[in-house]
């Protein structure tokens, strides 16, 4: 399959060009506070619709890799996390910049982001096929159980308000049912509107809920970076010597394992893993009091982890069809648009494509390293661009992409509709990720439930009596009970 992957890349040489474009744009979205890798993938989904499968998927992965790496620049220079996964980088990166060590912080962050990405790709290549080999024995009962477990992660995504999280998750499931019934082909919830018979497109929902909402939110603080004082940085090599690099190797491997491990757990994401790795680095340090005052280990740990999270979050995506975080949720939508159904059969049906993607991910990592080092001064200058110039261009790109999907004005209206819905939801304190999870996983849950009930002649107990599905459902119920108890205990402690 590795050789077939190389052959596929040779047959589609433009895929390398699209990887370079994806990495560069991803870095830009990571560098500019308010723009994220998730937003980059959402905006570029319509563009990938016209590309081949390998070009489209490699572009999305490149955007992911570039976006995660670019977030360290504003974190270190402005004390503003470029992405949610770069929050902990601010803790020691900015103090290092204030001490005149911005070159060391940036260089170490770039280098260990690169190494963390390579580590996660190696984990992805080795772990995902094994997991897929186990899951290939699954039938509709087992897929229902897995999806049911994934839906239960709404609790994790909405720990601040369980009730609101469940409400938005159910709203996502309901919206996914608009259109024709997938089994009986009868219209549902169309209210006499012909355009709704096709349902809401995954792309317009994702772009509306993330890209449009983020544009509205960013516009409120459009002048934040325009007035910021940004220091010039000149960096030789990676800003650190060999002894400093060697001294961080233990921190690197520990943080990389945390990133991959937490990445494999669906719906937790880099925002959590980088804080965990930072805390572990501080606990294991011989000088914990120096953390928060400009300790190099406080930059290496979160930057290694958020990059290692990339490969980890793609393990459940490819093996089980479960997105590991919001960025891979976008990629799940992209895979479905291109006729690829993630899950255990993906290695049998698209093995050459996957190995081509793995190769291009390694290439994207090297491109990210080179672009970040060579173009660092240019990326720093982008921090000075007022956001009121960027946001209108992003809105236009989103609208053109939504229209180009099916050449329907309705899709532009759908995108704006979900943008307004997302804005209202966030204003009222409701979380967005549960809605996205519900919308994407809702059809999978419904289809496998109905297929399982058909095969068992309406006997739901078969979901519980089959060993694998029964074990997963039992584990899910225990997980739900544990999570609910944990949330209420936390509320009682803070009351």
Alpha-carbon gap, residue 495 to 490, rounded angstroms: 9
The mean pLDDT of 154-169, rounded to a whole number, is 72
Average pLDDT for 354-381: 85
Q: What are phi and psi of 179, to 5 degrees?
A: 120, -155
On the question of pLDDT at 475 being above 60, the answer is: yes
425 pLDDT band, cuts 50/70/90, is confident
Structure tokens at 2: 């590795």
Convert 189-201 to b/e letters by CB count within 10 Å (16 or more is b). eeeeeeebeebbb
pLDDT at 20: 92
Which residues lie below 8 Å from residue 75, measured CB to CB, with a gap of 6+? 81, 82, 86, 87, 89, 90, 93, 94
Q: How far is CA 378 from CA 71, 371, 373, 375, in A?
A: 15, 10, 10, 5
Q: How confident is the model at residue 33 (pLDDT cuts 50, 70, 90)?
A: low
pTM: 0.70
Give percent above pLDDT 70 in the chain.
Answer: 86
- pLDDT of residue 109 exceeding 90, the answer is no
222 vs 393: which has the higher pLDDT: 393
CA 405, 411, 412, 416 dihedral sign is negative
Average pLDDT, the chain: 80
Task: Give yes or no for residue 186 having a pLDDT over 50.
Answer: yes
Show Cβ contacts of residue 390 under 8 Å, excluding neighbours closer than 6 positions.
32, 35
Task: Kindly tell me if the per-residue pLDDT of 270 is higher than 60.
Answer: no
pLDDT at 467 over 80: yes
Terminal Cα-to-Cα distance of the chain (whole angstroms): 56
pLDDT per residue as tens digits for the range 39-85 = 788 778 878 878 888 888 888 889 989 888 888 887 787 776 666 67
- Rounded to whole angstroms, the Cα distance separating 356 from 181 reads 35
Residues in CB range of 441: below 8 A, 6 or more apart: 147, 150, 151, 322
* Contact (Cβ atoms closer than 8 angstroms) between residue 26 and residue 72: no
CA–CA distance, 425 with 436 (Å, rounded to integer): 12
Task: Establish how many alpha carbons lie within 13 A of residue 136's alpha carbon, considering only the half-sphere containing its beta carbon.
Answer: 12
Give the residue from 11, 123, 21, 108 showing the smallest Cα distance to 65: 21
Residue 268 pLDDT grade (very low, low, confident, very high; cuts 50, 70, 90): low
When pLDDT is averaged across residues 284-294 and rounded to a whole number, the result is 80
Q: Is the pLDDT of residue 406 over 90?
A: no
**437, 396, 417, 64: which is closest to 213 by C-alpha?**
417
Give the pLDDT mean for 254-262: 85
Kindly report the number of other CB atoms within 10 A of residue 153's CB atom: 24
Higher pLDDT, 147 or 271: 147
Q: When comparing pLDDT for 389 and 303, which is higher?
A: 303
Orientation of helix 297-320 relative to helix 102-135, angle to 10°: 20
212 secondary structure, DSSP code: I
- Percent of the chain at pLDDT > 90 equals 4
Judged against a pLDDT cut of 90, whether residue 355 lies above it is answered with: no
Whether the per-residue pLDDT at 226 is higher than 50: the answer is no
Enumerate the β-bridge partners of residue 187. Answer: 180
- List pLDDT tens digits, range 337-351: 788 878 777 777 887
């Amino acid at each position: 399959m590795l050789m077939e992957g190389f052959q596929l890349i040779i047959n589609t040489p433009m895929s390398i060009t699209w990887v370079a474009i994806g990495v560069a744009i991803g870095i830009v979205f990571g560098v500019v506070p308010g723009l994220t890798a998730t937003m980059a993938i959402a905006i570029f989904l319509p563009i990938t619709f016209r590309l081949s499968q390998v070009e489209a998927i490699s572009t999305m992965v490149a955007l992911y890799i570039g976006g995660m790496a670019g977030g360290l620049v504003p974190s270190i220079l402005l004390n503003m996390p470029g992405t949610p996964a770069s929050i902990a980088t601010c803790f020691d990166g900015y103090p290092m910049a204030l001490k005149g060590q911005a070159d060391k912080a940036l260089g170490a962050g770039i280098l260990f982001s690169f190494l963390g990405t390579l580590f996660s790709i190696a984990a992805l290549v080795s772990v995902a096929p094994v997991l897929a080999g186990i899951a290939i024995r699954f039938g509709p009962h087992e897929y229902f159980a897995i999806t049911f477990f994934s839906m239960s992660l709404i609790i994790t995504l909405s720990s601040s308000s369980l009730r609101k999280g469940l409400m938005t998750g159910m709203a996502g499931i309901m919206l996914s049912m608009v259109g024709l019934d997938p089994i009986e082909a009868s219209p549902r919830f169309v209210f006499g509107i012909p355009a709704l018979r096709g349902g809401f497109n995954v792309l317009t929902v994702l772009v509306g809920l993330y890209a449009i909402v983020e544009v509205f939110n960013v516009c409120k603080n459009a002048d934040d970076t325009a007035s910021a004082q940004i220091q010039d940085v000149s960096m030789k090599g990676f800003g650190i010597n060999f002894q400093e690099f060697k001294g961080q190797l233990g921190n690197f491997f520990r943080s990389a394992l945390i990133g991959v491990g937490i990445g494999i757990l669906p719906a937790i994401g880099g925002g959590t893993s980088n804080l965990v790795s930072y805390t572990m680095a501080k606990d294991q340090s011989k000088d914990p009091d120096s953390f928060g005052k400009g300790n190099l280990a406080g930059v290496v740990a979160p930057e290694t982890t958020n990059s290692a999270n990339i490969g980890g979050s793609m393990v459940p995506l490819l093996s089980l069809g479960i997105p590991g975080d919001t960025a891979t949720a976008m990629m799940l939508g992209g895979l479905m648009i291109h006729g690829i159904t993630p899950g255990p059969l993906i290695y049998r049906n698209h093995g050459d494509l996957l190995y081509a993607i793995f190769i291009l991910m390694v290439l994207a990592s090297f491109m990210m390293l080179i672009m970040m080092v060579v173009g660092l001064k240019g990326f720093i200058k982008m921090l000075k661009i007022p956001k009121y110039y960027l946001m209108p261009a992003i809105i236009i790109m989103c609208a053109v992409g939504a229209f180009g999907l099916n050449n329907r004005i309705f899709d532009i209206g759908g995108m704006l509709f979900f943008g307004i819905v997302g804005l209202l939801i966030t204003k009222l304190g409701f979380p967005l990720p549960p809605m996205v999870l519900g919308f994407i996983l809702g059809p999978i849950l419904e289809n496998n439930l109905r297929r399982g009930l058909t095969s068992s002649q309406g006997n739901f107990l078969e979901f519980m009596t089959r060993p694998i599905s029964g074990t997963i459902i039992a584990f899910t119920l225990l997980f739900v009970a544990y999570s609910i108890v944990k949330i209420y205990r936390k509320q009682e402690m803070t009351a």
